[in-house]
Amino acid sequence: MNITIVGTGYVGLVTGSTLAELGNSVYCVDIDEQKVEAMQNGKIPIYEPNLEEMFARNIQAQRLFFTTDLKEALDKSEVIYLALPTPPGEDGSADLSYVLGVAEKIGMLMTGYKVIVNKSTVPVGTAENVRQVIASKTTIPFDVVSNPEFLREGFAVEDSMNPSRVVVGCSSARAREIMSAIYQPFTNTGIPIIFMDEKSSELTKYASNSFLAVKITFMNEIANYCEKVGADVDKVRLGMGSDDRIGHRFLFPGIGYGGSCFPKDVKALIRSGKGENFDFQLLQATEVVNINQKTILVPEIENYFGGNLQGRRIAVWGLAFKANTDDIREASSLDNIRALLNKGAEIVAYDAIAEDNVRRLLGDQIEYAADMYSALDGADCLLIITEWPEFKNPNFKLMASRLNNKAIFDGRNMYAVETLEQNGFFYKSIGRRT
């Protein structure tokens, strides 16, 4: 099948590469000429493990093409995926101007039946909105389908080639047949495709992300309470997760959830609720708890240094909002760095992948170390923000010799408390004894 993808951001690129990998001819459209030219030469504009190989393989096989010409791409395909940004507006609601702007152009340019598939995370009712905008520009028949994306950054290739489910919101038999054909390689291997109406599909995306954000936040509160009563959150987590109604995943406490999805989607769902006079009380509480959680280690660091951080040099390991990505959107690293700088501390940070993005934002307000150990030279303590694999089994003796104080504040519970005690460290993690 010929498929057009409008928008070559994160979701568009992964969706395009995946659909090409499944054997379709995929035409990716973006307004950014430089980006399109780079992609035509096989250069991928984002960091995502294993994506470049899949991308290059499909360009080579002539199944993946790039253009700035929407008309040309529209004429080639019956199915048009929209993978456009929906950034939060000032009030937290999703800004639909990109989605609706492209819908309008499609309405003006289309010359035959099209299925418009919305992959972006959009508020309930957007499919209907898109339908109205297109219908205001054409009398040619078309269908609008909602097909939310559930992939995780860092595991995008794995998640997109082996999704837990495919959700399709679609009320037309013609479009349903086309969507079933596109995803047949998945359904053939037993991956469920769940058809529903467009509104339910749109809400499924927000409900899934919000549920996971609540799950993490719940564990963060349990972890904080563990510290009060002397329980160990690792044990509680294992005990709870063994109930398969709860499950082991997304029960890891830490310094709050971040990234481009959970914070945005929780906010947007709260906002949409307000529009309907509906109060998402649980989600509002989740937001507040998460904001506090992000800097929960700052007062601990301050206490360790007798209430004064002036002139203290603090090493930070990890800047990305989670491992395996260069993304720093809503990353706890930024909240921590800003809070510590405000208290007069100096920061020396190390993150091989996300450093460039932080440099663009913070410039020389902080120092950047070339490797994880040199970050510790002359530092008064270490703060761990991201659970990068390279931090998992460090040389504790070397760390001790390079730090001024053997003190680690760990926002990701990377190490066994006993190991750190044996190595003579002061070790503060989340929800475990100090």
Q: Other CB atoms closer than 10 Å to residue 42's CB: what's the count?
A: 12
Q: How far is the CB of 159 from ligand UGA (least distance, A)?
A: 7
Give whichever of 25 and 204 is closer to ligand UGA, judged by the CB atom: 204
Residue 355 binds ligand UGA, judged by CB under 6 A: no
17: left (phi over 0), alpha (psi -120 to 50) or beta: alpha
Q: 113-132 mask for ligand UGA (x: CB under 6 A)?
A: --------x-----------
Output 225-230 pairs: Cβ under 8 A, ≥24 positions apart. 226/431, 226/432, 227/431, 227/432, 227/433, 227/434, 230/433
Residue with structure tokens 């508020």? 123
Give whichever of 388 and 425 is closer to ligand UGA, judged by the CB atom: 388
Give whichever of 307 and 389 is closer to ligand UGA, judged by the CB atom: 389
* 203 annotated among ligand-binding-site residues: no
Residue 415 binds ligand UGA, judged by CB under 6 A: no
Establish whether 28 is a catalytic residue. Answer: no
Interface residue with ligand UGA, options 186, 257, 305, 409 (CB under 6 A) = 257
The whole-angstrom separation of Cα 287 and Cα 254 is 15
Q: How far is the CB of 49 from ligand UGA (least distance, A)?
A: 12
182-212 in b/e form (b: 16+ CB < 10 A) is bbeebeeeeeebebbebbebbbbbbebbbeb
Give whichever of 140 and 361 is closer to ligand UGA, judged by the CB atom: 361
Give whichever of 4 and 332 is closer to ligand UGA, judged by the CB atom: 332
Let me know how long the chain is.
434
Reference 247, options 205, 283, 281, 218; nearest CA is: 218
Residue 214 binds ligand UGA, judged by CB under 6 A: no
At 99, which helix (H) or strand (E)?
helix 97-109
At 202, which helix (H) or strand (E)?
helix 198-229
Interface residue with ligand UGA, options 131, 137, 152, 338 (CB under 6 A) = 152
* 237 annotated among ligand-binding-site residues: no
Q: How far is the CB of 280 from ligand UGA (least distance, A)?
A: 17
Interface residue with ligand UGA, options 218, 250, 280, 426 (CB under 6 A) = 250
Residues forming the annotated binding site for substrate? 150-153, 205, 250-254, 258, 322
Residues forming the annotated binding site? 30, 35, 86, 121, 150-153, 205, 250-254, 258, 264, 322, 329
